[in-house]
Chain A
Amino acid sequence: MWRRLQVKVGPARGLITSTQVTRRSTLGFCGSDLETHMEAMRKKAMDALPGSSWTPLEINPNLPPERADIVIVGGGVVGWSIYSQASTVLSGGGIRQQFSLPENIHLSLASADFLRNINEHLGVLNEDPIDLQFNQSGYLFLASEAVAHIMEENYSTQRYAGAKVSLLSPTQLKEKFPWVNTEGVVLASYGLENEGWFDPWSLLNAFKRKAISMGAIQCCGEVTGSCWSTATATYGHLQSCQCCQVQMPNSLEYQPVECAIVVNAAGAFSGKLTEMLGIGFGPKQSIAGIPLPFLNLNYAAEPDVSNLEVDHSFFQENVWPHLAFRVPAFEKLKVTSAWAGFYDYNTFDQNAIIGTHPLINNMYFATGFSGHGLQHSPAVGRAVAELILDGNYKTLDLSGFSFNRILTQEPKLETNIV
């Protein structure tokens, strides 16, 4: 019956077009009206036939799917890198190896390796090669007398871990960088290789493109709730997240997404997400009572973080005097543009939290980088992918960054935070 209808519509359309042709020549002023009407009718007829994408119920095409294997919350580089290997665009985009913890140095080295071979890892056939605009200058750290011994210790850790760093005395520093004022500087540490800055937006896009080419589905929305199933184990109640409710932006529509695994890579909002999922509200002595130690707030010296407006006076009063003292050429400095963004600051020890939560057996954390998320993203993505797929870390052992250190209250301090 449908085929007969098609056949009927076919010649009918033909008739319509032929009449149109004659009418166009005779009735000039109402010809265009007739054309649009005919076009609309034709479209309706085509839509009614099976095989078109029209449905009587209006469904928002941007809704997430009803079921997904893994839901990654957070659209920054860490989230996309987790997918492609198993509020970054606002980031400064630098990478350095000069940390004090060996794990952080290894993470940076692995990420630098990844960025060097980025076209091999993230290249998609028939698309343009990725250009990160990587500028290969190193980071230079200056130390006064009080902290020179810390710098020396860090230097030996860095060399042992394989980073190419060199220590400079004040005279060598003046020779290499004549524009620096070496007053008060006792020691300097300069990165020779694998350090520099690049464009975070192109990295994010490269990850996104590769992930979408491998089958990920991107949806913009906010996670507003979740539903649970509990199981009892010997030490308490084990929870597992069964589905997340995703709400569309600027509307009341929401879609519950059933999932097997949830990855929390939500950056500055990871604390809110875990609160929503029930952590931090149990009795004080239990594991469930310990919240994720996150704040959107920042160091006490930094500007007010209730909104994202730029505080220009902060630069004038707190930052510029130090800059002008250290580099005399910056005395005539003028700010051309500024932007503000949130750090996902881990108030406990300013280091990443990677791994599972003891009470929720299907939630993986990859957050709390306190400003280093971008430079560690490829390596962390690979580590979490290994954790999800194989159950263990294979290439780099990041068990030092697990949630357990918050339970036992043993901070893993990184002294070289910027």
Chain B
Amino acid sequence: MLLRWRSQAKRSQLQKKNVYYSYTESFYGPDIASAYYILSLKGGFRYVGQSEWFRANQRGKFSWDFLNHKNTPIEEADMSYTIINYTGLENLERQRSLRTLKLKGCPEVDDWFLARLHLFQDSLEELDISHCPRITTGGLAALRNLKGLKHLNVSSLPGISNPGLVIILLEEMLPQCQITANGYDHNLRKVEEEEEEQMQRQR
């Protein structure tokens, strides 16, 4: 029972953080609401036309200067190592000029999240989903909707089983995109070792 409580508490905290910020949106507009969401999850972003990045520090504190730029859409968002998930992505739904999205090491980003990225299919040019433990091959198939993608980083994804094959298929699916995939062991020796293990087990 204690274990169940603990897991339920964790889940409800995740849901609370990723709730839709409709209150903020009704007062300040959708862009400020998205900006506030990114900052409260300890991420960072950059507005269109500005070169300054707004970030929250380790403790979650951030400056309120971003309020000065009303009605400016967001161009780049860095949500690496945050707990953004499928429901949280609703807060960024209105950002149709988002060009870069960094989701390195996010524990809650899974295949359904990738499928929802079709919202940014016209504008997104750079996507970084390396080190996300929940992504599998099925989710990578959903990236075919992102026609404008130029840079894709799929390094060190523990969830995909045949990284070499998957990268080849991705390159075929997105011909204009440059794919970075480091951190995989493409050694053929591993396959031979697995075959030997299987034979031993059969004996």
Contact = CB atoms under 8 A, between A and B. Distances in A.
B11 A120 contact: yes
B116 A193 contact: yes
Given A134-B111, A136-B111, A194-B115, A125 B141 contact: no
B59 interface: no
A133 interface: yes
A135 B114 CA distance: 11
B4 A136 contact: no
Contacts of B7: 125
A107 B139 CA distance: 23
Contact of B114 (A125, A136, A176): A136
A125 B111 contact: no
Contacts of B112: 116, 134, 136
Contacts of A126: 3
A196 interface: yes
A196 B138 contact: yes
Interface residues of B, number: 20
Contacts of B4: 125
B115 A133 contact: no
A234 B193 CA distance: 76
B118 interface: yes
B145 interface: yes
Contacts of B141: 135-137, 196
B170 interface: no
B115 A193 contact: yes
Interface in B71-115: 86, 111-112, 114-115
B11 to A, nearest CB: 7
Interface in A112-128: 116, 120, 125-126
Interface residues of A, number: 16
Given A125-B4, A134-B138, A193 B118 contact: yes
A415 to B, nearest CB: 26
Interface in A91-136: 116, 120, 125-126, 133-136
A136 B138 contact: yes
Nearest to A120: B11
Nearest to A198: B138
A167 to B, nearest CB: 15
Interface string B51-62: 000000000000
Contacts of B116: 193
Contacts of B144: 137, 176
Nearest to B8: A120
Contact of B145 (A134, A192, A196, A198): A192
A209 interface: no
A133 B138 contact: yes
B40 interface: no
A133 B7 CA distance: 23
Interface string B105-148: 00000011011101000000000000000001111011011010
A417 B188 CA distance: 45
Interface in A172-209: 176, 192-194, 196, 198
Interface string B20-32: 0000000000000
Given A136-B112, A136-B115, A125 B3 contact: yes
B118 A164 contact: yes
Nearest to B116: A193
Given A116-B112, A164-B118, A136 B11 contact: no
B3 A136 contact: no
Contacts of A125: 3-4, 7
A192 B144 CA distance: 10
A176 B142 CA distance: 13
B139 A136 contact: yes
Contacts of B142: 136-137
Contacts of A116: 86, 112
Nearest to A197: B138
A196 B118 CA distance: 15
Nearest to A115: B112
Contacts of A193: 115-116, 118
Contacts of B139: 136
Contacts of A176: 144, 147
A192 B121 CA distance: 11
Contacts of A120: 11
A133 B136 contact: yes
A125 B7 CA distance: 9
A120 B86 CA distance: 14
Nearest to B114: A136
A176 B118 CA distance: 14
Contacts of B145: 192
A196 B136 CA distance: 14
A116 B139 CA distance: 12
Contacts of A137: 141-142, 144
B165 to A, nearest CB: 15
Interface in B135-164: 136-139, 141-142, 144-145, 147
A126 B138 CA distance: 26
A176 B111 CA distance: 21
Nearest to A132: B138
B9 to A, nearest CB: 13
Task: Give the one of B115, B138, B142, B145 with max A CB within 10 A.
Answer: B115
A117 to B, nearest CB: 9
Given A134-B112, A192-B145, 5 more contacts: A116-B112, A135-B137, A137-B144, A164-B118, A176-B144
18 contacts: A120-B11, A125-B4, A125-B7, A126-B3, A134-B112, A135-B138, A136-B111, A136-B112, A136-B115, A136-B138, A136-B142, A137-B144, A176-B144, A192-B115, A192-B118, A193-B116, A193-B118, A196-B138
